[in-house]
Structure 1
Amino acid sequence: MTFASLRVTKGHGTQNDFVLLDDRDGSVDLSEALVRELADRRAGLGADGVIRVVATDLVAEGAAVLAVEPAARWFMDYRNGDGSIAEMCGNGVRVFAAYLERLGLWDGVEELALGTRAGVRRVRRVAAPTGGEDWYAVDMGRWTVPGGPAVIAAGFDAEVQVAGLEVARPALSLDVGNPHTVLALRDDELDGADLTRSPAVTPVPPGGTNVELVVPLGEQDVDGVVVGRLRMRVHERGVGETRSCGTGAVAAAMAVRTWAGAGAPDVWFVDVPGGTVRVTALADGHAELAGPAVLVADAQVDLEALAAR
């Protein structure tokens, strides 16, 4: 169906920002061109990605989701800023949950089950560690090191060349429902890295990868629990450098935890340019991502003007 205008909402999770639209009946033609136009930071609304709310039974991937969790009524249709389809987005899941609350499609009390291309994700409200507005905690599913025990023992399975760094660095590949490649740096190297250009990853991942640059900051005692901390910058496939990446934070924390070996903390705070999120390794091999989600504006987009940019 063609519309002259489109009502949307702008939101962000630690400044990883999104345009959200309510298309629960699946009537909007969310083309690659429309996604690019909405995400354009000069001629559009500006965003790292576009998220559509649609009934799970109306999308091709919905049958598999509903077979696992019939209560996953709503599907998070996530698109990168360049229009490409992505499996999911950790910051986006939290913002999606806040948007469902705004729409009256979730009460914010019971656990929310929702569909993504990476499977079912479960969301709950939790207290923010420093007070203030509640955070949203998402069970991000199982994280893995695709290379298995041999790669875990070696600590790396790839090499990454980043502009601004003199030599390529060893890196570890992880899967968090989407692909990631994590490399460790010093503080000054993290600050000096140029992520305006895509890092070169060897071997080249067939479906592309997100690249996380991390600086481990050690461990500390927080209310009697030993937690880890790290800094992170990220280059997202199909987007470029973003202020935050939820799945990237999980990958970064689990990579540093893997490198640390036995006895490493299960809880990690990840500092990104847009704020801080918390990653927890769960007993079942899953990881939980917790952090804020903010809806900042509602807008009525003139689609003719948008397309005429």
Structure 2
Amino acid sequence: MRFSKMHGAGNDFVVLDLRDGTPAPTPALCEQLADRHFGIGCDQILTIEPPQHAAAVASYRIWNADGSASGQCGNGARCIAAWLVRDGSAPAAEGFVIESPAGQHAVTRASNGDFVIDMGAARFAPADIPLAGVAAAQDEYALDIDGQTLRFGAVSMGNPHAVIEVDAVAGAPVATLGAALQRSSMFPESCNVGFAEVRAPDHIRLRVNERGAGETLACGSGACAAVAVLAARGRVDAARGVTVELPGGCLHIRQASDSGTIFMGGPAAFVFEGEWP
């Protein structure tokens, strides 16, 4: 089984081409591939598959390091776009469309060569996230965890996100508090938990604990979610664009003021190619 090892701002992937009909990896195989000591090592496995609609050049699915399926991965979308361009399945200089479990995504190129992904509009309705026990969307939710009241925003980018604003991300309890929120019954499908520090209206710092993977060096959908939540509060100017600084690098997020569509730009890099025995 041939694979490509790739990363987007440090969020790393094993990419498998299944367009020849090869079956999707089992949860056990995903765990083997993702193991950083006995396998290839990655945050997620991405499988490239035939398109579901004529407008798309290919579709892809996302598997977390623990073998669970995910509905969206922004950094993965850019890596899939770069892989398809290198493969010749997508044009290098023109826009094209790819499909994730969350829907179709238009892909364009920035002037610096980065891939820019149309991530769609953020969805705040509790049923869309989903959030249990909540009737209407709120700017901020409160939940008692281990005797302390945790306040957070919640949004779907095709996968569920909680966003916690902090004074400084360096000392944020990403692993402990992130895992506790992921286990909460308020999130029946768990969630990705982002800790966001606003530096300026066009600059935030972010750390994300991803469901099924733990803290990653970058989370594309998490960057979009953080900007969406903070923009709704007036904390950042998403229409002009926001640089999201993550441990593995920077992503650039812009939200269209008319439609609410979020565009995410950033790097996509090939690390090595190999064959799984």
Same fold (TM over 0.5): yes
Counterparts of 2:260 and 2:122, CA distance in 1 = 7
The equivalent residue for 1:78 is 62
1:291 aligned to 254, 266, 272, which one?
Answer: 266
**1:71 is paired with a residue of what secondary structure?**
coil
The equivalent residue for 2:246 is 272
Q: Is residue 234–residue 241 contact of structure 1 (8 Å, CA) maintained in 2?
A: yes
- Report the alpha carbon displacement of residue 182 of structure 1 after superposing the two structures with TM: 0.4
The equivalent residue for 1:28 is 23
Q: Is residue 5–residue 273 contact of structure 2 (8 Å, CA) maintained in 1?
A: yes
Counterparts of 1:114 and 1:143, CA distance in 2 = 19
The equivalent residue for 1:143 is 122
- Report the alpha carbon displacement of residue 159 of structure 1 after superposing the two structures with TM: 3.1
Q: Is residue 160–residue 200 contact of structure 1 (8 Å, CA) maintained in 2?
A: no
Aligned counterparts, 1:1-309, within 5 A = 6-56=1-51, 62=52, 66=53, 70-128=54-112, 134-147=113-126, 151-152=137-138, 155-159=139-143, 161=145, 167-187=148-168, 190-197=169-176, 198-200=179-181, 204-219=186-201, 228-260=202-234, 264-266=237-239, 267-282=241-256, 283-302=258-277
Counterparts of 1:183 and 1:196, CA distance in 2 = 13
Aligned length: 265
Counterparts of 2:120 and 2:238, CA distance in 1 = 19
Gaps (5+ residues) in structure 2?
Answer: 128-134
Q: Is residue 252–residue 266 contact of structure 2 (8 Å, CA) maintained in 1?
A: yes
**1:137 is paired with a residue of what secondary structure?**
strand
* 1:7-63 deviation digits (Å, cap 9, x = unpaired): 11100000000000112122234111111111111100000000111112xxxxx3x
- Report the alpha carbon displacement of residue 193 of structure 1 after superposing the two structures with TM: 2.7
**1:95 is paired with a residue of what secondary structure?**
helix
**1:260 is paired with a residue of what secondary structure?**
coil
- Report the alpha carbon displacement of residue 167 of structure 1 after superposing the two structures with TM: 3.9
**Cα 1:74–1:265 shift into 2, 3 Å:** closer
Q: One-letter code of the match for 1:172?
A: G
**2:276 is paired with a residue of what secondary structure?**
strand
Counterparts of 1:29 and 1:274, CA distance in 2 = 29
Identity of aligned residues (%): 31
Counterparts of 1:257 and 1:29, CA distance in 2 = 38
Counterparts of 2:243 and 2:200, CA distance in 1 = 11
**Cα 1:113–1:147 shift into 2, 3 Å:** same
Q: One-letter code of the match for 2:262?
A: A
Provide TM-score, normalisation by structure 2: 0.89
Counterparts of 1:211 and 1:167, CA distance in 2 = 17
Deviates more, 1:277-286 or 1:38-47: 277-286
**Cα 1:253–1:18 shift into 2, 3 Å:** same
Q: Is residue 65–residue 212 contact of structure 2 (8 Å, CA) maintained in 1?
A: yes
Q: Kindly name which structure, 1 or 2, has the bigger radius of gyration based on alpha carbons.
A: 1
Q: Name the Cα RMSD after superposition.
A: 2.1
Deviates more, 1:99-108 or 1:173-182: 99-108
